[in-house]
Amino acid sequence: MKIHLTVTLVGPFVLDDEGNIIDTRNFELKPQIVSEKLAKLDMGELPKELEDMLKDHKKNQIVVHNLNLNRILSTKKFNVVIDYDDPVIDTFHKNFIENVQNLGLFKARKDYIRFLREAMIQLTRERVRQSAQKRDGLIVHAIETIDDLDKTINLFSSRLREFYGMHFPELVDAIENHNTFAKVVSITGNKTNIDKKLLVDEFSLPEKKAEKLLASRKNSMGSPLLEQDILIIQDQATVIVELFKRRQALEKWMEEAMTAIAPNMCGVVNPLLGARLISLAGSLKQLAFSPSSKIQILGAEKALYRTIKTGAPPPKHGVIFQDSRLNQAKWWQRGKIARVISGRLSIAVRMDFFKAEDNSEQLDKEVTEKIAEVLEKYPEPPERPIRREFKRSRPPQRRGPQKRKTR
């Protein structure tokens, strides 16, 4: 027997093909209780009233028009079919106020309108509260903050190098790392304060390089600066050092949060890359419901659109290219390794979203073995097809305008 199931603010209803109410279980008509039950349904939990009602309809084919309800019932092995435009359910909702009045749930239309308003306000508050409780939203903001910090640090560091290059340009060329360069400038300021012990012992600069740098101070192309100019440059260097410390602290917190939120995902890729994938998808839930093919090319949307538009070769990987096992592989192995990583990521993120057990070690082992198989199976590049050159036929010569024959 085919039945039609819909969940409303007053409870679940089962209808037959003619739209008659076969079965119903009413919620307790209090806005707070109703909002909590519907919010739990959004999270994948069936309300007690609906669960009790479905026990009497296990053998029936159930037609629903809600995608989330379809997913929940499918996981519970019900014979469920989704129909977004089910005319039976649409007709029932069009006459819903009359139906609930006939059941005696509300005396007048205005009573239901008042209950609807209060219940929807409570439901909105409950959904906002549940959304705030999800820590994956914090992960998204954290990775975006790290990106903003990187842009700011690079901008400030390039400006600092230009400033200090007027005083001691040889130091700018000798130290490439922005953090180390900012630390040296913030501590010493004037080039006369730079000594060998500081460069070698504290900043691990090679001894020969440090000696050469110190010797270049006598014949430096830079000009001496006033003390107040040096202080301004030192303040800017100190700001950059503090920004680096903030970034390191944020990255450390994010690694701990990722280990708690998505341990299986951290078993496949490093926490920073996992957080970036969650940020690109929007949330852990959206990433969990994404196929592995989409995870594989997340971050390469422009290349994908170019493929669709111009017919260029499609991208083999997106942001997962940051994984060292992928970016250090040979070019002909990268596509296969990207499929291996994205496939295990798809499994791992679903395990994390549905709160499965921590299986990160097993997933890490599987990825390592699969990548080793790829490297062993494809050690040499494939033979590229030989392009045959055809002789172009001589283009026909254009003739000038011919005179029209007259009779």
In this predicted structure, the answer to whether residue 395 has a pLDDT above a threshold of 70 is no
C-beta separation of 264 from 358 below 8 A: yes
pLDDT for 223 equals: 84
In whole angstroms, give the CA distance from residue 88 to residue 74. 21
Q: 2-133: which CATH architecture? A: 2-Layer Sandwich (3.30)
Which tokens in the block code for residue 306? Answer: 């170019």
pTM, two decimal places: 0.67
In whole angstroms, give the CA distance from residue 343 to residue 320. 12
In whole angstroms, give the CA distance from residue 95 to residue 101. 10
- When pLDDT is cut at 50, 70 and 90, the band that residue 386 belongs to is low
What is the phi/psi pair of residue 136, to 5°? -65, -25
Note the pLDDT tens digit of each residue in 215-234.
Answer: 888 888 888 888 899 999 99
- When pLDDT is cut at 50, 70 and 90, the band that residue 154 belongs to is very high
pLDDT for 274 equals: 94
Rounded mean pLDDT, 71-79: 86
Summary mean pLDDT of the chain: 87
In this predicted structure, the answer to whether residue 99 has a pLDDT above a threshold of 90 is no
In whole angstroms, give the CA distance from residue 237 to residue 184. 9
Rounded mean pLDDT, 355-381: 91
C-beta separation of 318 from 299 below 8 A: yes
Please, what sign has the CA dihedral across residues 323, 317, 135, 67? negative
- When pLDDT is cut at 50, 70 and 90, the band that residue 277 belongs to is very high
Place of tokens 């012992």: 201
In this predicted structure, the answer to whether residue 198 has a pLDDT above a threshold of 80 is yes
Q: Mark residue 282 as left, alpha or beta (left: phi above 0; alpha: psi -120 to 50; beta: remaining).
A: left
CATH topology of 2-133 equal to that of 262-377? Answer: no
In whole angstroms, give the CA distance from residue 5 to residue 23. 10
Smallest CA-to-CA distance from 296 within 281, 317, 313, 275 is with: 317
pLDDT for 390 equals: 46
Note the pLDDT tens digit of each residue in 109-132.
Answer: 888 889 889 988 988 887 776 665
pLDDT for 74 equals: 87
Rounded mean pLDDT, 389-394: 52
Please, what sign has the CA dihedral across residues 262, 266, 269, 273? positive
Cα radius of gyration (the chain): 33
pLDDT for 191 equals: 87
Note the pLDDT tens digit of each residue in 316-337.
Answer: 999 999 999 999 999 999 999 9
C-beta separation of 117 from 124 below 8 A: no
Beta bridge partners of 23: 14
Q: What is the CATH number of domain 138-252?
A: 1.10.287.4070
User: Homologous superfamily of 262-377 in CATH?
Assistant: Nop domain (1.10.246.90)
In whole angstroms, give the CA distance from residue 277 to residue 286. 10
Work out the percent of the chain whose per-residue pLDDT is above 90: 39
Strand duo 80-82 + 12-15: pairing: unpaired
* Per-domain residue ranges of the chain: 2-133, 138-252, 262-377
- Torsion angle (degrees, nearest 10) of CA 227, 229, 234, 235: 120
Q: Would you tell me how many other CB atoms lie within 10 Å of the CB of residue 336?
A: 17
In this predicted structure, the answer to whether residue 387 has a pLDDT above a threshold of 70 is no
- When pLDDT is cut at 50, 70 and 90, the band that residue 245 belongs to is very high
pLDDT for 131 equals: 62
pLDDT for 220 equals: 82
Note the pLDDT tens digit of each residue in 17-71.
Answer: 888 889 888 888 888 888 888 888 887 888 888 888 888 888 888 999 888 888 8
